[in-house]
Structure 1
Amino acid sequence: MKLILASQSLTRRRMLESAGVIFEAATALVDERREKEALQGDGLAAHAIAKSLAEMKALSLSEKGALVIGCDQTLEYGDGFMLDKPHSEHDAFDQLKALSGRSHFLHSAIAIAENGKIAWRQVDSARLTMRELSDRFIKNYLELEYEQIRHCVGGYQIEGRGAQLFDWIEGSHFAIQGLPLLPLLKYLRERGILLT
């Protein structure tokens, strides 16, 4: 059965490739910003928004004879506040400043659509505690990393220099990168797409 990843995320593609999963990547047919605003307006929690968006992305490309993987990730901090992908380097600075010295949650959702229906879904959450960051450190980090992190919720990646941002992490490294990989691999084995 054909497997389609409804995402052009380089990180997610590399994760699947590294795990030996054969798939095609395509762009989901979802206006993510508009849909997210609507879900927030409905009062959904951050993890539920991630799940809903993952389902929408999977369904947007659902076709007969294929399993379509949709993914989304939300960042929640404080009393239910959410951060999106930064719009500029200045925005990324403000986001990192807001997260400095605090804990936040990343909610990574995955959904699989088959024949126009959701066949499977999973949400994994991780708690990350960022160390106190100086303005100088944040500016230097963004000078070196902005092109790599500008499409990342919260304005950072855990990989590479991003590891220097944190004091403590609880949860799956895969969830932090935006794809609950181990539950997905288990599901694909159960479906006979991967060898058991």
Structure 2
Amino acid sequence: MTLILASGSATRASMLTSAGLIFERRSPDVDERAVESALAETGVGPDDVATVLAEVKATEVSLRFPDALVIGADQTLSLGDERFHKPPDMEAARRQLLALRGRTHQLHSAAVVAVNGEPLFRHVATASLTMRPFTPAFVGRYLAVVGERALSSVGAYQVEGFGIQLFEEIDGDHFTILGLPLLPLLAFLRTRGVLDT
């Protein structure tokens, strides 16, 4: 059975490749902000938003590729009632990091597997991350080092790189922080015969 990752994320693809999976990548045709906007009126939590977005991506791609197992994934960042998205530019990244500094935020990573438009598996995991109270000058240096990579993640950071210097405490699964609840996903794929048991 063909396995497809419905994501343009290089990090998610790297995780699956490192885990020994052979898969194709197909970008979903989904307006994420429109989906989130519709969900905002329902009062669902950020973990549910991540799950719905992952499901919409998985089902959209699975309808285009019949009989393939399609993995959709999404990640949301919440700080209390406030939600953050990938910053559109470096100034937005700077403002976002300053808003998060000295505080604990949550990353919610969801994965959904669908076949022929039907979800077969859903899982969401949450990690809590506490940023240290860094100075505005440090934010400037950090953004100068990481450059445009700050715009590629919901938190404007990558903990697997220089972004780890932003933190004083992390509580949660490493893969969840990177954007995919990998261990539960692998367990499901074993039940489908994609991986050896």
Deviation at 1:81, TM superposition (A): 0.9
Identical-residue share of aligned pairs (%): 50
- How far residue 21 of structure 1 moved from its aligned partner, in angstroms, is 0.5
Aligned to 1:128: 129
Aligned equivalent of 1:8: 8
Extract structure 1 runs of 4+ deviating beyond 6 A. none
Once the two structures are superposed, the pairs formed by residues 2-41 of structure 1 within 5 Å of their partners are 2-41=2-41
**Cα displacement (A) at 1:146:** 2.7
CA displacement 1:48-99 (0-9 Å, x = unmatched): 1000000000001113221110000000112x21001101100000000000
Q: Which amino acid aligns with 1:29?
A: D
CA distance in 2, matches of 1:97, 1:126: 20
Q: TM-score, normalised by structure 2?
A: 0.96
**Number of aligned residues:** 195
Deviation at 1:115, TM superposition (A): 1.7
Deviations 1:99-148 (A, max 9, x none): 00000000000000112100001001000011001111101111111311
Q: Give the letter aligned to residue 32 of structure 1.
A: E
Q: Secondary structure at the match of 1:132?
A: coil
TM value normalised by structure 1: 0.97
> Tell me, which stretches of 5 or more residues in structure 2 are unaligned?
none
Task: Name stretches of at least 5 consecutive residues in structure 1 with no aligned partner.
Answer: none
> What's 1:170 paired with?
171
User: Within the alignment, does 1:156 sit opposite 2:160 as a pair?
Assistant: no
- For 2:47 and 2:147, locate their aligned partners in 1 and report how far apart those are by CA, in whole Å: 26
Q: What is the RMSD computed on CA atoms of the aligned residues?
A: 0.9
Look up the equivalent residue of 2:22 and give its one-letter code. I
| 8 Å Cα contact 2:85/2:155 also seen in 1 | yes
Find the aligned partners of 1:152 and 1:159 in 2 and give their Cα distance.
Answer: 12
> In structure 2, how many angstroms separate the alpha carbons of the residues matched to 1:151 and 1:89?
11
Residue 177 of structure 1: CA displacement? 0.3
In 1, Cα distance between equivalents of 2:40 and 2:86: 15
**Cα distance in 2 between the residues matched to 1:146 and 1:177:** 19
Matched letter for residue 143 of structure 2:
L
Are 2:138 and 1:137 equivalent residues in the alignment?
yes
1:70 maps to: 72
Residue 117 of structure 2 corresponds to: 116
**How far apart are the structure 2 equivalents of 1:40 and 1:3?**
32
Task: Give the whole-Å Cα distance in 2 for the aligned partners of 1:185 and 1:154.
Answer: 25
Query: Deviations 1:167-189 (Å, cap 9, x if unpaired)?
Result: 11111000000011111111111
